[in-house]
Structure 1
């Protein structure tokens, strides 16, 4: 099922940019008044993602990885800079955003409506996600009864549901067992071959050869690694 851990074949390149961030700045005010101070987290980050490219985003804790991801998807406003996107985004946050009393099936139905998918398209995509990630037997299980690993599968599945052109993943495989980890990379490889882009945040990068390139957030800026 899983491809050898080697660099995937190059997907066709175009001059299009799937996602581009330019000059992104973000600062937070921390501490009690009157000793409150402004702490700059992002100091002019430039980052681009080409169609069919898989990019890893790494950095120390507190370097601003999740802050940048939230800005890229529009969940957080930057203090300065611009973000341009081509096509639909799929976002897998580090902490799953689910409704405890809804089953996995009900989550897919809800998100399908939010994506304006037809019922047929949503069901077809849902069935494939269950098969690809191996959790179909939990289709009727409420989110508050799922194990951490299965909840992580649901979190990723919701990001994949609408087959987005750009997939943004924040620590997506935390809690996965090794089999699911390999299934995850199968999915990433398939998306790459079809010209879809993936940005993956991680504290560390293993299987480096699976990425086209690695970008590190250091001192508030994005630098190649």
Structure 2
């Protein structure tokens, strides 16, 4: 399905009809922020009827200029921010990797996995297996007992990604996930994405620019508050 935005601000589109192949569908999403502009506060629109869909086993890139609303749309999709109008439909489990890692400085990598595993309601055996696999796949097992505030930027990015990957969710929403990765880790990242796509998992990657377009099934550009497939 094409992720184009054809909705006017005064006639929001209805939710998309159910489709077993569609894991995510955002329709007619509007969002504005209040900004102080002399002589009084004004509403500054960021999203103006953006539509976006994600099919099962699909890898989609979301790009746009700074301030185009990429992170705003991502936060709306995961429920971290309320839209002013529009609908979001999710099917299956969700993993979210924010642009800025949300971690506890005094907790080690192992303790983060334990904490998040409990939140995901994973069994002890499943958590142990998934954690060891992620350490190996992303290459940071030697930092298992290291506190987050002592990690390098690249290793912190690995932990941030690992926490989203931990429960092997149906949908992965990743906001600038490989910022700070070296080349080896970048290649490992795409290996993980390919493995999950082969199992029918879906991935949405937000980035300022797309370098390897062949790795994506579709590229969606946010422009003038709307989303356009290219």
> Same fold by TM-score, threshold 0.5 exceeded?
yes
TM-superposition CA deviations, 1:141-164 (whole Å, max 9, x none): 000000000000000000000000
1:212 to 217, 222, 227: 217
- Cα RMSD after superposing both structures: 1.0
TM-superposition CA deviations, 1:165-223 (whole Å, max 9, x none): 00000000000000000000000001111000000000000110000010000000000
Measure the CA separation in 2 of the matches of 1:137 and 1:24: 43
> What TM-score do the two structures reach when normalised by structure 1?
0.93
Measure the CA separation in 2 of the matches of 1:122 and 1:15: 29
SS in 2 for 1:28: strand
**1:129 and 2:134 aligned:** yes
> What TM-score do the two structures reach when normalised by structure 2?
0.91
SS in 1 for 2:40: coil
1:28 to 28, 33, 48: 33
What stretches of structure 1 move > 6 A for 4+ residues in a row? Answer: none
Query: Which residue pairs with 2:179 in the alignment?
Result: 174
In the alignment, structure 1 segments of 5+ residues that lack a partner are 1-13
**1:106 and 2:121 aligned:** no
Query: Which residue pairs with 1:89 in the alignment?
Result: 94
Cα displacement (A) at 1:49: 0.1
In the alignment, structure 2 segments of 5+ residues that lack a partner are 1-18
TM-superposition CA deviations, 1:57-97 (whole Å, max 9, x none): 00000000000000000000000011011111000000000
Where in structure 2 are the equivalents of 1:142-157 lying within 5 Å?
Answer: 142-157=147-162
Measure the CA separation in 1 of the matches of 2:185 and 2:133: 15
Number of residues of Structure 1 aligned to a counterpart in Structure 2: 212
